Amino acid sequence: MARGIQDTFYWPRRYTQISLIVLFFVGASLGPDIQSAFQTTTDPAALSARVSNIFYSYLVAVTVLGIILGLSTVVFTYAIQDRVGKILLWFSFSLGILLLIPVFLLGSQLSQAVYQATTSSDPSPLYALIGQAQALRLLGIIPAIFYALAYLNARSRITSGDVP
């Protein structure tokens, strides 16, 4: 019995580990790109456009990796879930995808915030944008709650002996 459960969990766990490693290197390469943009560009309009392009390219890469991680989170316990658990998994995955829409909308405001901050030497537009981004991070708790409920459902099925 235990061997079958281990086989079920092996693929999603390995896939998640590889995705996290790739995500780390994508994030680690973002800092030097933005630093070089500030060091090589003096025109505020060109700087805001360059930072926006860098941000969008990394945002797309992180979005793709986030979708892959979300799918691996769904698949992690999918085989041992009942109907309600499967619905909870897909619902929380779709909520996570829906939360990406405001992130892309915030990304469109980044260019304007960088332009205002560099022309007026006032970082308050960037601080306001960071505040909005932190509020969006707080909304990420909602899909996490549904994932936790689905995992609790799988755990209760295992402890009650419903999973062969």
- pLDDT of 87 > 90? The answer is yes
By C-alpha distance, which of 36, 32, 62 is closest to 133? 62
The proportion of the chain whose per-residue pLDDT surpasses 70, expressed as a percent, equals 79
In the chain, what is the greatest distance between 2 CA atoms, to the nearest angstrom?
A: 66
**Which one is predicted more confidently, 156 or 29?**
156
Mean pLDDT of 145-162: 91
- The answer to whether 148 touches 121, Cβ cutoff 8 Å, is no
Cα angle at 162 between 161 and 164, to 5 degrees? Answer: 85
**Which one is predicted more confidently, 14 or 46?**
46
Q: Is the sign of the CA dihedral 119, 126, 29, 55 positive or negative?
A: negative
pLDDT tens figures, 88-104: 999 999 999 998 888 87
15 band by pLDDT with thresholds 50, 70 and 90: low
Q: Is the sign of the CA dihedral 143, 145, 146, 150 positive or negative?
A: positive
- pLDDT of 80 > 50? The answer is yes
Residue extents of the structural domains in the chain? 2-76+100-139
- The answer to whether 111 touches 148, Cβ cutoff 8 Å, is no
- pLDDT of 107 > 60? The answer is yes
